[in-house]
Amino acid sequence: MSNQKIAKSGPVLGVESSCDETGVAVFDAERGLLAHTLYSQIKMHADYGGVVPELASRDHVRKLLPLIRETLSKAGMTTRDLGGVAYTAGPGLVGALLVGASCARALAWALDVPAIGVHHMEGHLLAPLLEADPPQPPFVALLVSGGHSMLTEVTAIGKYRLLGDTLDDAAGEAFDKTAKLMGLPYPGGPALAKLAETGTAGKFRFSRPMTDRPGLDFSFSGLKTQVLLAYQKHADEPNAKADIARGFEDAIVETLLIKCRRALQETGTSRLVIAGGVGANRKLRAQLADAAQREDFRVYFPRLEFCTDNGAMIALAGALRLKAGLHDDAAIKVAPRWDLQSLAPLEAA
């Protein structure tokens, strides 16, 4: 996305439609988050065991305008009060992204306000800034969602250096695929985490991939195979399913913790931000909070509802970019794949 300079402020409407959640919010750089609404398509996709892109796009078309009206009404304002419209421009499902982009751009055009195409992962990364006592750069961010597992060094907002990435499955994808092979319903991550709560630690021990060598990359696809083999062999034994789920969750959580610790050491930073859907995992949150206390670093999470996809993080990222004088040209462009490191830093604006 190109970024042009303008000087405009006022509340920013944020639209998220990159996957199976329609999220809308209004964020004001001075007053904070004014309203947000979310519609999840989970029930619709559950019958298919995963997201059906065409159905996702059509449902965003149905839900977006009613949600925009509802959000503005909650914020006690009309479209005329908006200073800009932000939307997720990528990465994500191209049809779903186009629905949000077209709607947001058309609205911005009609209101003669700037439109800002937001990187979905920047939205996730900035979500902890919606909370009280937000983190200040420099910090390290662990971004763990359905499509990404990344460790990023954040030296300024918009200035991101990739420290580590996944070589295969993302952490959320590993949760979802493993849940599916264990016969759990979509979305698998929360279902598997719930089952793991009733499992016993240590009954099944799976590897902590790539922790026995230096580096900050991840690889989670092998874990699924280990779980499949354990499941095929032991599924009929009492409580084995829950014990396997527990073993899997412990393996992922410990792997993420080891890599976070390593990233903090390598960058000499003592602030860690966790964001993305897997950041809603209670075990991960508890273990990281515990490690932070013992090891003298600070960890920042968004509240649970802002870990998974939402409009608030897009409105916030858009408002910060707009405040720094950045927005996009008039073309409706989306980027199903988009390197976070290619964004324009806010400080250089």
Q: Which residues bind ligand KG4 (CB under 6 A)?
A: 19, 145-147, 172-173, 175-176, 187-190, 193, 276-278, 280-281, 308-309
Pairing of β 139-144 and β 271-275: parallel
Q: What is the DSSP string of 274-322?
A: EESGGGG-HHHHHHHHHHHHHHT-EEE---GGGTSS-SHHHHHHHHHHH
Task: Please give the biggest Cα pair distance in the chain.
Answer: 65
| Residue 137 binds: one of ligand KG4, Zn ion, none (C-beta under 5 to 8 A by kind) | none
Binding stretches for Zn ion (CB under 5 A): 145, 309
Minimum CB distance to ligand KG4 smaller for 173 or for 328? 173
Smallest gap from Cβ 110 to ligand KG4, in A, equals 29
Q: Which residues of 234-258 are buried (b: 16+ CB within 10 A; e: fewer)?
A: beeeeebbbbbbbbbbbbbbbbbbb
Smallest gap from Cβ 173 to ligand KG4, in A, equals 6
As a whole number of angstroms, the distance between CA 16 and CA 122 comes to 12
| Residue 176 binds: one of ligand KG4, Zn ion, none (C-beta under 5 to 8 A by kind) | ligand KG4
Smallest gap from Cβ 297 to ligand KG4, in A, equals 22
Smallest gap from Cβ 7 to ligand KG4, in A, equals 32
Nearest Cα to 93, choosing from 149, 21, 36?
A: 21
| H or E segment to which residue 13 belongs | strand 12-16
Minimum CB distance to ligand KG4 smaller for 19 or for 125? 19
| Residue 189 binds: one of ligand KG4, Zn ion, none (C-beta under 5 to 8 A by kind) | ligand KG4
| Residue 172 binds: one of ligand KG4, Zn ion, none (C-beta under 5 to 8 A by kind) | ligand KG4
How far, CA to CA in Å, does 327 sit from each of 9, 69, 110, 125, 315?
11, 24, 16, 19, 13
| Residue 175 binds: one of Zn ion, ligand KG4, none (C-beta under 5 to 8 A by kind) | ligand KG4
Minimum CB distance to ligand KG4 smaller for 49 or for 76? 49
Smallest gap from Cβ 57 to ligand KG4, in A, equals 16
As a whole number of angstroms, the distance between CA 231 and CA 233 comes to 5
Smallest gap from Cβ 20 to Zn ion, in A, equals 10
Minimum CB distance to Zn ion smaller for 173 or for 249? 173
